[in-house]
Amino acid sequence: MKNTKLLLFMFAVLVFLILIGSLLGAFIRLANELRYSLEYFLPYWLVNPILLIFTGIIIYLFIQVAWPWWKNYYKNKTKISSNNKEAIKRPRNKQQAAKQSLESIDRLIDRIQNQVSSKALREQRERVEKELTRGDLIVAIFGTGSSGKTSLIRAMLNEIVGVVGSPMGSTTTSKTYRLRLKGLNRGLQLIDTPGILEAGEEGFLREKEARLEASRSDLIIVVVDSDLRSSEMHVIKSLAKLGKRIFLVLNKCDLRGEAEEQRLLELLKMHSKGLIDSEDVISSSAAPQSIPKPGSKPFQPKPEIEMLLRRLAKVLHHDGEELLADNILLQCRNLGDQGRELLNRQRKKEAQGCIDRYSWISSGVVAVTPLPGIDLVGTAAVNAQMVMEIARIYGVQLTKSRAQELAVSVGRTLAGLGIVKGGVSVISTALNLNLPTLLAGKALQSVAAAWLTRIAGASFITYFQRDQDWGDGGIQEVVQLHYDLNRRESILRKFIETALLRVVDPLQRNQKRQLPPRSRPQEEGEA
pLDDT reported for residue 91: 64
Q: What is the rounded CA–CA span in Å between residue 451 and residue 283? A: 65
pLDDT tens, residue by residue, 338-364: 888 888 889 999 999 999 999 988 888
Phi-psi region of 143 (alpha: psi -120 to 50; beta: other; left: phi over 0): left
Mean pLDDT of 247-254: 90
More confident residue, 526 or 184: 184
pLDDT reported for residue 513: 56
pLDDT reported for residue 77: 54
> Residue 504 pLDDT > 60, yes or no?
yes
Contact between 38 and 50 under an 8 Å Cβ cutoff? The reply is: yes
pLDDT reported for residue 84: 46
pLDDT reported for residue 363: 85
Nearest in space to 360 (alpha carbons), one of 511, 460, 495, 490: 495
Give the strand pairing for 137-143 and 291-293.
unpaired
**In sequence order, what are the residues at sequence separation of 6 or more whose Cβ sits closer than 8 angstroms to the Cβ of residue 4?**
none
Give the strand pairing for 245-250 and 291-293.
unpaired
pLDDT tens, residue by residue, 359-418: 988 888 877 765 454 455 556 778 889 999 999 999 888 888 899 899 889 888 888 888
Rounded to 5°, angle at Cα 138 from 137 and 139: 120
Q: What is the rounded CA–CA span in Å between residue 19 and residue 13? A: 10
Mean pLDDT score across all residues of the chain: 79
pLDDT reported for residue 73: 60
- Cα separation of the two ends of the chain: 105
Give the strand pairing for 219-224 and 137-143.
parallel
Q: What is the rounded CA–CA span in Å between residue 366 and residue 359? A: 11
H or E element, residue 492: helix 489-499
Paired strand residues for 138: 189
pLDDT tens, residue by residue, 423-472: 778 888 877 765 565 566 778 888 888 898 999 999 999 999 998 999 88
Mean pLDDT of 186-196: 85
H or E element, residue 191: strand 188-192
Task: Tell me whether residue 65 is exposed, middle or buried, using C-beta atoms within 10 angstroms of its C-beta: 0 to 12, 13 to 18, 19 or more.
Answer: exposed
| pTM of the complete model | 0.60
Angstrom distances, CA of residue 148 to CA of 82, 199, 226, 269, 305: 57, 19, 12, 20, 12
Paired strand residues for 296: 293
Q: What is the rounded CA–CA span in Å between residue 38 and residue 34? A: 6
pLDDT reported for residue 374: 42
Contact between 227 and 271 under an 8 Å Cβ cutoff? The reply is: yes
Domains and CATH numbers, the chain: 134-288+300-304 (3.40.50.300), 345-512 (no CATH)
Contact between 168 and 148 under an 8 Å Cβ cutoff? The reply is: no
Q: How far is CA 513 from the centre of its chain?
A: 53
Q: What is the rounded CA–CA span in Å between residue 345 and residue 118? A: 13
Determine how many CB atoms are found less than 10 A away from the CB of residue 386.
Answer: 25
Among 31-35, 184-188, 210-214, the minimum mean pLDDT is found in 31-35
pLDDT reported for residue 119: 84
pLDDT reported for residue 515: 46
